[in-house]
Structure 1
Amino acid sequence: MKLNQIKETCLYVNDLEKSKAFYNGLLGFPIIGYQEKRHLFLKVGSSVLLCFLPEVTKLEKELPPHYAYGKIHVAFEVPEGDYELWKKMMYEKGIKILYEKEWNQQLKSFYFEDPDGNVLEIIPPGLWH
């Protein structure tokens, strides 16, 4: 038995409108689901980014309760050759790059935060190969 991929990843946020403005408005992730006062779902390549309000989802009755607090980390892989374009777009949109790291394979990644302080990363293909 094997798995194909991680299909969805959760972030827990405080303000869905701010998250929508950031992930959809600034980063361009298409919205595929939105329920006011509960969640925002976004398409990211072949995966889904779920943004939940933790004070709501920790009280779930139908689904298993889930929530988290703190600086959750997610890395987004960009297509070959687009890494520098993403860095440029961050600067143009006023998104502060916190740190850029050069890894063993001489590949680089950079870190930034969403409005809730979640730590996000842009990585090129091959970083984990």
Structure 2
Amino acid sequence: MKEFLQIKESCLYIRDLEKAKSFYHDKLGLEIIMYEEGKHIFFRAGTSVLLCFNPKDSKFKKSPPPHYAEGNQHFAFEVDTQDYENVKRQIANLGIEITDMMVWKSGQESFYFNDPENNVLEVVPVGVWD
């Protein structure tokens, strides 16, 4: 539908929510907007929300409908083009290993790293898909 403006929420399934809190809030600086121990933690990233659900809980929910996933999941953070290299340095300075880099058809580069549960995270500059 052309009325869709954006993907507002992205979801990861994370068993250790305390490690998620330490990584996404303490290291990456995302604001916590909701936390229910053992169930879920939600973070704000710009105008988007990153939902982290414990799959042992969310798999059996009645409402919202049950949902879960296994394996390495993926999403990308978008940064202003002029901030890209600085963000890459900051990630490396936090002791987080950059696992891969890609140069896209647009000529822009993105880089990848993992969270504590081995989900594949990416940083892309604005315009990479334009």
> TM-score interval w.r.t. the shorter chain?
over 0.9
Give 5+ residue unaligned stretches, structure 1. none
Deviations 1:62-97 (A, max 9, x none): 220000011111011012311101111011100000
Q: Is the 8 A contact 2:111 2:124 kept in 1?
A: yes
Alignment of 1:111-126 (within 5 A): 111-126=112-127
Counterpart for residue 35 of structure 2: 34
Counterpart AA for 1:63: P
Give 5+ residue unaligned stretches, structure 2. none
Give the TM-score, by structure 2 length: 0.97
Aligned: 1:9 with 2:14 = no
Aligned: 1:70 with 2:95 = no
Counterpart for residue 82 of structure 2: 81
Counterpart AA for 1:112: F
Counterpart for residue 49 of structure 1: 50
Distance in 2 between residues matched to 1:59 and 1:104, nearest whole Å: 42
Distance in 1 between residues matched to 2:49 and 2:82, nearest whole Å: 23
Counterpart AA for 2:75: V
Counterpart AA for 1:78: V
Distance in 1 between residues matched to 2:103 and 2:82, nearest whole Å: 16
Counterpart AA for 1:117: N
Counterpart for residue 60 of structure 1: 61
Distance in 2 between residues matched to 1:112 and 1:83, nearest whole Å: 14
Deviations 1:1-48 (A, max 9, x none): 510110000000110000000000111100000000100000011000
Give the TM-score, by structure 1 length: 0.97
Distance in 2 between residues matched to 1:78 and 1:60, nearest whole Å: 34
Counterpart for residue 111 of structure 2: 110
Counterpart for residue 23 of structure 1: 24
Identity of aligned residues (%): 50
Distance in 2 between residues matched to 1:124 and 1:32, nearest whole Å: 25
Runs (4 or more) in structure 1 with deviation over 6 Å come to none
Secondary structure at the aligned position of 2:26 is classed as helix
